Amino acid sequence: MTLSEWLDKWLENMADTLQPNTLRNYRSYIENHIRPALGDKQLARITPKDVQWFYEKLNNTLASCTVRRIHTTLHGALKAAKQAHLIANNPTEQIIAPRFSYGAKQVLTDEQLDVFMKVIAEDEVWCDFFYTKLTTGLRRGEICGLKWEDFDEANGTLKICRTVYRETGGELTAGDTKTSAGVRKIVLPVSTVQVLRKRKKSALTKWIFPNPLKPEQPTNPGSTYRQLKVLLKRAGLPNIRFHDLRQTFSVRALQNGVDVKTLSAMLGPYSAGFTLDTYAHVTTSMQKRAANAVGNFLSGTLQP
């Protein structure tokens, strides 16, 4: 059996267990990268050297995050082949896996955030949405998928258990979060609880943030991206990505004393180690402040 033949069987077996977007991404990585490079090789004869060559070739043309996702796909397929006793060892486990290269994060400064908050306050349709986004750090699909049943008004919490995405063909679908780790309950700031409590009083639909034109449907994640661009232009701010609002939330949380473990739990299926690596520029400054605080505390004790 060739790798190409096994990949077809693997995708068929995985079809019912993956989110449509995830399955579509796996197919893309296989068709555009894995199959052309390694597909003709016999499954049992793929070596760590072959895999290493493949990754080095990808590193010359693709971003590190894309190479890492291709590795995740290939690793999963070969792991399943090993479990099916088609290969003795998984060659992707015998090399150093590609790593993400974390560049500088685009976040709004305190001054820019103040400007942005003033602009969204003037937008009656989108104000609550972007305020909630900035105070929770939720992903686009997660915040669009919120229902009123997820909001515990008495305890001031939100349950994150679904995401909205667009199917092939254009239809919006609300499905489970990508992984079980993505299902979580987060405690809301008092101000966000007040915003949602006031919004709930006039709610006409099960969605916390329904489509403004079709309230029986959730807000389209694509529309939130386009609206962000409108608001940024109106505010005269840099043309950041929607995901950078999540980065802004994360940096502000760390700077204001939220510990890394708690932040990881709020963000979703990220480990504390991932958070430390991603926001190293922030956590380094936090460590310096902690070191100075300890030094000041002990300086008097150690003096003769």
Q: How many CB atoms lie within 10 A of CB 80?
A: 17
Q: Contacts for 119-123 with beta carbons within 8 Å, 24 or more apart?
A: 119/231, 119/234, 119/235, 120/231, 123/231
CA atoms of 116 and 207, how far apart (whole Å):
25
Here the tokens at position 185 are 């309950």
Distance in Å from the first CA to the final CA of the chain: 76
Dihedral angle sign, alpha carbons of residues 17, 18, 24, 25: negative
pLDDT in single tens digits along all 304 residues of the chain? 999 999 999 999 988 887 777 888 899 999 999 999 999 999 999 999 999 999 999 988 888 888 999 999 999 999 999 999 999 999 999 998 887 665 556 889 889 999 999 999 999 999 999 999 999 999 999 999 999 999 999 999 999 999 888 766 667 787 776 555 568 899 999 999 999 999 999 999 999 999 999 999 999 999 999 999 999 999 999 999 888 898 888 888 888 888 778 888 888 765 455 555 556 555 555 556 555 655 555 555 444 4
Cα distances from 139 to residues 67, 94, 104, 136, 181, in angstroms, run: 22, 34, 20, 9, 14
pTM > 0.85:
no
